[in-house]
Structure 1
Amino acid sequence: MKILLVGATGSIGEVAYEELKDDAEIIQASRNSSEYPVDITSEESIRALFEKVGQVDGIICAAGSAHFATVDELTPEQNMIAVNSKQLGQVNVVLIGLHYLRDNGSITLTTGVLMDDPLKTASSSAMANGGVSAFVKSAAIEMPRGIRINHVSPSMLEKSKEKYGKLFQGFEPVSSKRIGLAYRKSVFGAQTGQAYKVY
């Protein structure tokens, strides 16, 4: 099984890679990759990546950025960071990647706890996560060729507590293993249109 992992060098991407690396050939793509570079805000970059990689059995996208600011400080330009990256970037990975995905393949996108459990300064991120979640639920009913699509919605990783703990006050950090298993379920399971919430 050949899986393309977009966002492989991020904290969530690393978790997905560690969980799946022994059971599949994982192609690690990221913005800073020398072998498989990709910028998900650019359709051309996404297309170039798939042209280089070729046919795959699974696509995981764990990439996407957002600007954090209170609503009264957030500008339309800052909000577009999440729209173009976290939301449309992931959707475009699906729309372009479908043509390189083998029959009965799987697509797994990444959202996050903020769409369900809001924090101050996180409305733009929550908006993008919610948009991706709605897209997955709707797209699942019309996926061709037996292809499945799901999303994993993780909370703050245990290993990220030192960096993000002050922002996520009162949130229980989640183990890498639990988040990794959600990606495993999406890739190797049979469900589609699911939100695998790891909170």
Structure 2
Amino acid sequence: MKILVIGATGTIGSAVAEGLAARHDVVRAARRGPLRVDMAEAATIDALFTEVREVDAVVCCAASGGLTPLDVPSDTAFWSGLDGKLLGQVNLVRRALSHVRDGGSVTLTSGRFAEPVPGSSLGYLVNAGLEAFVHAAATEMPRGVRLNTVSPGWVRETLLGLGMDPAAGTPVADVARVYMEAVEGAAHGRTLAVSVP
């Protein structure tokens, strides 16, 4: 299969791209590099598909987002995660419809927090919205194209990079396997959660 991996330079995206490349032709795109895309800019998604054209699957691992306090002074700063993670991935699905071959798949990234913490309300809104979108939009996918989202939770390597205790994280190789199962399996309209070790 020819598989487009977006966010292929990140911790999760690079592991997903490497795992899929063992059996498939992987096209890697990211915010930086030879094949560029910014999920907050719909025009770059259009440009990406103009260059890549037809694929068998699209995997989006470029879903960043951090904690945003409710009382942040600027509306722009508060809503910043909405454009790239939620609306960007919705735009990706809409644009991918005419580029993913029959029976292919689109896999997005949502997420989860172990429990609500200060600053997590926007993250909860975005992730819940994305998962609800996938569940409903799956009924509209044409030509047997499957749509799923992966909820990776904390990744051990990310926690290490942040200088935090990695015990609550899942190794990135295990996270990547869930994305690969979404591409190669039969799931449709589902949120695939990565189990914590």
1:42-121 maps to which residues of 2 (within 5 A)? 42-73=41-72, 75-114=74-113, 117-121=115-119
**Quick one: which of 121, 124, 131 aligns to 2:122?**
124
The residue aligned with 1:139 is 137
Structure 1 residues 123 and 164: CA distance shift in structure 2, 3 A: farther
1:171 Cα offset (Å) = 6.8
Poorly superposed stretches of 4+, deviation over 6 Å: none
Contact 1:140 1:149 in 2 (8 A): yes
The residue aligned with 2:180 is 184
The residue aligned with 2:8 is 8
Equivalent residue letter for 1:176: V
Structure 1 residues 149 and 47: CA distance shift in structure 2, 3 A: same
Structure 2 residues not aligned, in runs of 5+: none
1:177 Cα offset (Å) = 2.4
Q: What SS does the aligned partner of 1:99 have?
A: coil
Please give the TM-score of this superposition, normalised by the length of structure 1. Answer: 0.91
1:34-92, Cα deviation, whole Å (9 max, x unpaired): 2x111111111101100100100000011133352322236421122111111000111
Identity, % of aligned positions: 35
Q: What SS does the aligned partner of 2:91 have?
A: helix
Structure 1 residues 156 and 165: CA distance shift in structure 2, 3 A: farther
Q: What SS does the aligned partner of 1:113 have?
A: coil
Contact 1:66 1:124 in 2 (8 A): no
Structure 2 distance, partners of 1:194, 1:74, is: 36
Structure 2 distance, partners of 1:170, 1:118, is: 19
Structure 2 distance, partners of 1:81, 1:171, is: 30
Structure 1 distance, partners of 2:105, 2:84, is: 21
1:170 Cα offset (Å) = 9.5
Contact 1:149 1:193 in 2 (8 A): yes
Structure 1 residues 2 and 100: CA distance shift in structure 2, 3 A: same
CA root-mean-square deviation: 1.8
Q: What SS does the aligned partner of 1:174 have?
A: coil
Structure 2 distance, partners of 1:2, 1:32, is: 21
Please give the TM-score of this superposition, normalised by the length of structure 2. Answer: 0.91
Q: What SS does the aligned partner of 2:48 have?
A: helix
Structure 2 distance, partners of 1:59, 1:170, is: 29
1:19 Cα offset (Å) = 1.8
1:120 Cα offset (Å) = 2.3
